[in-house]
Amino acid sequence: MCTQNDCSVVPCGRRRPRGATVQILLLAILSVVARSRIGVAAEGGDVASDYEQLATAKADALVTVKFVLKLKMGGMMGGDQESNTEITGIMIEPKGLVLCSNTQLGGIPPMFRRIASRMGGDASATPTDIKVLVGDDSEGVEAKLLARDTDLDLAWIQIKDPKTYKHVDITPKTSKPKVGQRVLYLTRMGKFFDRVVTIDEGRIGGLTSKPRELYVGGDSGSGVPVFMPNGDFLGVTITQTPDEEDSDEGPMAMFGALTGRGPGLILPASEIAKATERAKANPSGAEEAGDAKAKKGTAK
C-alpha cells in the first residue's frame, strides 16, 4: 500500500485505474490530502489509505443525477424558466434507488414558498427528464422521482429499467459520533472535470436534537454522503430551514433563516433508513388514495 508521501503512484495491490478519469481522480485526491495534512498529523492515521479505500469502495455508487428543472414563478416574480442541472446522488439499493438532496432537486422549503407567496409570487419547481449517470456513463439511464421529503431534505429517484448497481449500504452501523470525530465526505466534481470522485475531510463539530437529530459537520453543501474513516456510512448532509410556522414574517426572514443554522448538517443514517422505507412504501401518487379518503370527511 502506498504511503502518504508517494500517493502519486498507483496503489499497490488494487485494480489498476483506467484512463484520464482515474488520473484526475488521483490528482483530486492528492489535492485533498495536501489540504488535510494538519489533521493527519494530529490523528496519526494513514489518511491516504482511508481515502483510497473509500474512493475505491464507494465511487461506483456515487452517481450523477441529470435533469431539467422547470421553475414556475407566477405573480409579481413573473415568468417560467427551465434549466439543465446536474447533482450528485447516492445509489442506496442495487435495483437502482438513488438518494439525493431535495433542495438540490428543486425542492422549495415551505418557508421560502410562503415568503415568495407573500411577495406576490407563486413558486414551484418540478424536475423533469431525470437521468442517472453511473460511473463514466455520459448518456444516462431514465429515472423518475419516487418520493421527496421536504422536512428531511431528501429525495429518492428510481431508475426505470433497473439492473444491478453497486450501492452504498445505508444500514446504520455506527453509534452516534462524538464531537471531534473525523469524517470523510465523498463528492463528484462537475462534468467539465469528468465528474471525478473527490474526498474531503471534516470533523463533527456538534450534535443537536432540534429540529431533529443532526450532526454538525463541515460546510459541504447538501446531498453529500458522509462516512466514518473505516468506510461505514454515517449520514448525508442536508439543508434545514425553520419550519413554516417557526419562521418570522416578511421577506427578510429568508435571510434570517440562514443565520444560526450552523455549518453543514448531517442527517444520521438511522433517520435516512427509516425515511427510505417510508418513501418506498408511499411513493409519489400513493397519497391520492389517502386524499380521496380524506375527501369524504371534509369541513362543512
Partner 1 sequence: MSTGFRIVRWFEHCAPRAGMSLILVFCGAAALSAAAPPEPTPAELAKAEQLREDQRLMIELARDRVFPALVNIHVITMNYWGGKEHKGRAVGSGTIVSKEGYVVTNQHVTNNGKKFKCTMADKQEITADLVGEDPLTDLAVLKLNLSELKDPGAPLAVAHFGSSDELEIGDHVLAMGSPFALSRSVTLGIVSNTERVFAGGMAGDDPEEMQLEQGQRTGLFTRWIQHDALINPGNSGGPLVNLKGEIIGINELGGSAMGFAIPSNLAQTVVAALIDHKEVPRSSIGISLKPIEKTGLKNGVLVNSVDSDGPAAKAGMQAGDVILKLGGDALTVRFPEEVPPLLKRIADFPIGASVPLTLDRNGQLIDTQITTEKLQKDRGEESAFRGWGLTALQITDRIMREHRLTSTAGALVSGVRPGGGAQLAEPPLADGDVIKSIDGQPIKDLAAFIKCYDEIMERKPLPKYLLIGFERSGKDQVTLLKPKPDEDEDPPREVSKAWIGIATQPVLKDLAEKLGAPDTLGFRITRVYPGTRASESGLRVGDIVFAVNGDKTAPKGMQDAGLLTRKVQKLDIDSPVTLSILRDGQKQEISVSLERSRLRPEEARRDRNRDFELTVREITFFDRDDNRWDDDVQGVLVDQLEPAGWAGLGGLRVGDLIQKVQGEAITDLDSYREVMKRLTESQPERVVVVVLRGARTHFQYIEPEWKPVVDESKVKEGSKE
- What is d(CA 104, CA 66) in angstroms, rounded to the nearest whole number? 11
Instruction: Report strand pairing: 233-238 vs 225-227.
Output: antiparallel
Stretch of 11-19, 25-33, 124-132, 214-222 lying at the interface with partner 1 (CB under 8 A): 124-132
Rounded to 5 degrees, φ, ψ at 163 are: -120, -160
Task: Figure out which of the listed residues 3, 81, 208, 230 binds partner 1, where binding follows CB under 8 A.
Answer: 81
Looking at 5, 164, 245, 259, which residue binds partner 1 (CB under 8 A)? 245
Quote the least distance from Cβ 138 to partner 1, whole Å. 10
Q: Would you count residue 219 as binding partner 1 (CB under 8 A)?
A: no
For 224, residues 6+ apart whose C-beta sits below 8 A from its C-beta are 88, 185, 186, 187, 236, 237
Cα–Cα distance for residue pair 187/3, rounded to 1 Å: 23
Of 46-54, 62-70, 86-94, 164-172, the segment contacting partner 1 by CB under 8 A is: 62-70
Of 5, 18, 210, 259, the residue at the interface with partner 1 (CB under 8 A) is 210
| Interface with partner 1, residue 98, by CB under 8 A | no
| Site membership for partner 1, residue 287 (CB under 8 A) | yes
| 291 is a site residue for partner 1 (CB under 8 A) | yes
88's grid cell: 450528485
Cis preceding linkage at 109, omega within 30 = no
Asked whether 91 and 82 are in contact (CB, 8 A), the reply is no
Among 58, 148, 167, 182, binds partner 1 (CB under 8 A): 148
> How far is CA 171 from its chain centroid?
16
Residues binding partner 1 (CB under 8 A): 68-70, 72, 74, 81-84, 107, 113, 122, 124, 126-129, 145, 147-151, 155, 210-212, 242-246, 275, 278-279, 282, 284-288, 290-291, 293-300
